[in-house]
């Protein structure tokens, strides 16, 4: 009887937490491979370019990811539009980062639109996540 409750609790846990970050990255990789058969894995080097390259963003101003999150992911950032402080993105100083897949997806979608005026592709999202997680 007790065993059955443990199984139920584990199942509930899976539903509550949803996809893990590794599962999300795995899914992005599958999608990237579908979009480009020669896809050979994500690259932190390409992610760095995506993070630092400047584009005329949604508001007609030249920006990059670093405009709000700074060039050093271990530092506090600031939302250049609202002036609000942003906690560091680097999991080495902010362990909560990249643990909540829903939050990661929501902000990737929004922030890609801010900078690139479109959603990121699976490849781009995977590359930039790899870069951010390792910095
Ligand atoms: C206009 C300012 C701004 C720009 C530009 C920006 N971000 Fe953000 N980003 C934010 C804010 C605000 C949050 C949410 C607040 C927070 O999580 O501290 C956030 C959160 C995130 C998160 C959530 C991380 C987590 O696990 O908590 C990711 C991932 C992210 N940004 C990636 C990017 C990438 C990649 C780019 C460039 C394509 C980018 N951001 C550009 C403002 C910005």
Query: What is the CA(86)–ligand 1 centre distance, in A?
Result: 8
Domain count, the chain: 1
Q: What is the CATH number of the domain that holds 33?
A: 1.10.760.10
The residue range of the domain holding 115 is: 2-133
Residue-wise pLDDT for 21-63, tens only, equals 999 999 999 999 999 999 999 999 999 999 999 999 999 999 9
Beta strand segments in the chain, E: 55-56, 62-63, 77-78, 85-86
Pocket test for ligand 1, best of 68, 106, 133 (most atoms within 8 A of CB): 68
Residues framing ligand 1 (Cβ under 6 A): 63, 65, 67-69, 79-81, 86-87, 97-98, 103-104, 107-108, 111-112, 114-115, 128
Residue-wise pLDDT for 4-19, tens only, equals 766 655 555 555 557 8
| Residue identifier of the C-alpha nearest atom 20 of ligand 1 | 107
Q: Is residue 101 within 8 Å of 26, Cβ to Cβ?
A: no
Q: What pLDDT score was predicted for residue 104?
A: 98
> Helix count (H) and strand count (E) of the chain?
6, 4
- Cα 32 off chain centre by: 15
pTM: 0.89
Residue-wise pLDDT for 70-83, tens only, equals 999 999 999 999 99
């Amino acid at each position: 009887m007790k065993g059955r409750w443990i199984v139920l609790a584990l199942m509930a846990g899976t539903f509550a937490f949803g996809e893990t970050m590794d599962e999300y990255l795995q899914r992005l990789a599958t999608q990237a491979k579908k979009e480009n058969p020669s896809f050979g894995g994500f690259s932190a080097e390409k992610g760095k370019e995506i993070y630092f390259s400047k584009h005329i963003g949604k508001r007609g101003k030249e920006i990059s990811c670093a405009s709000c999150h700074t060039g050093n992911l271990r530092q506090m950032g600031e939302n250049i539009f609202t002036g609000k402080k942003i906690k560091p993105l680097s999991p080495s100083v902010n362990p909560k980062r990249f643990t909540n897949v829903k939050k990661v997806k929501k902000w990737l979608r929004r922030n890609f639109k801010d900078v690139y005026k479109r959603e990121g592709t699976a490849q781009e999202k995977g590359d930039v996540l790899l870069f951010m997680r390792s910095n």
